[in-house]
Amino acid sequence: MQTLETLRRRYGAFLSLCGTAAGVLIFAVMLLVVANVVMRYAFNQPVAGTLELTESALPLIIFLSLAMTQMHGGHIKVVLLTQRLPQGLARGAKVLAMLAGCVLFAWAAYAGWLMAAKSFAIGELERGSIRFPIWPIKFAICFGLALLAIQYLLDAIWVALGGTLKDDSDEVME
């Protein structure tokens, strides 16, 4: 259990680094949009590629922070059935749900990998006011999905061994 706790803590630190990168991207997008507005209205010269760059940053922002959100218990959960189950059955249902999430997101990461590899092979480009390859963004999506699958697996093992997660409170929306 100690080893798993250490692994979860170190993995959490890595996810926090990914979340920080997503936050930096949000700030960069904000600066880009502000610069575009100022340049457009003050000098009638918009920043070239603002739309393409902000569109490309959004998947990075979202997928780099998905696993961190799971780690912090920030995803929506429905406890309609599990709140009325005995503790052992509720724990088993939670483990099964997290294992299902692990399998689903691992499959999505694999499918994303295939899509990104194809994009890389054909040299797919964003075509707009600026041109740049979009395969790195597709690989980042795959990476984020794989991180989420790993987080679900770690959470499932942790709960199966008797641990509690940050979202295990009895807070219920009515």
The pLDDT value given to residue 168: 61
The model's pLDDT over 39-66, given as tens digits with 9 standing for 90+, comes to 999 999 999 989 999 999 999 999 999 9
Handedness of CA 114, 118, 123, 125 (dihedral sign): negative
In this structure, the dihedral spanned by the alpha carbons of residues 33, 36, 42 and 46, taken in order and rounded to 10 degrees, is -160
Closest among 64, 80, 30 to 50, alpha carbons compared: 30
CB 154 within 8 A of CB 11: yes
Closest C-alpha among 76, 87, 88 to residue 167: 76
pLDDT in tens, 124-159: 998 888 888 999 999 999 999 999 999 999 999 999
Q: H or E stretch including 150? A: helix 135-160
Question: Which pTM was predicted?
Answer: 0.88
